[in-house]
Amino acid sequence: MNKKTDRLDVSSKDDLENRLNDINKRLGRDVNNDETGEVKKPGNSGMAQGMRIASEFVSAILVGAAIGYAIDWVFGIAPFAMISFLLLGFVAGVLNVMRAAKDM
């Protein structure tokens, strides 16, 4: 066998795993919990949470406006459905923002 592969025995792999776990703990990352076997993920950054909330808010308004426009186009009742569903989309967006802020 090759000398390099001989050096990589089980003890060196365990040593590597121990060093990786140690550095993860020092960096504040959660590692495998031996009792449950779960890996905890780090929380989202503030920027990621803000972008998620903003995109949910804007998309709710746009979906409401699109549904209202489609209803106006099908039934020919020009601005009424679009205004109604635009407001409904705004309310849905505000509720999504409140729900996401509560989970933080």
Per-residue pLDDT reduced to its tens digit, 31-74: 665 555 555 556 678 888 899 999 999 999 999 999 999 999 99
Check whether residue 26 and residue 51 sit in a common domain: no
- Contact between 77 and 69 (Cβ < 8 Å): no
Check whether residue 94 and residue 61 sit in a common domain: yes
Q: Which two tokens stand for residue 51?
A: 């972008």
User: Based on the structure, what is the number of domains in the chain?
Assistant: 2
pLDDT band at residue 4 under the 50/70/90 scheme = low
* Residue 52, domain extent: 46-102
pLDDT of residue 59: 96
Query: Does an H or E element contain 25, and which?
Result: helix 10-26
pTM for the model stands at: 0.58
Check whether residue 24 and residue 61 sit in a common domain: no
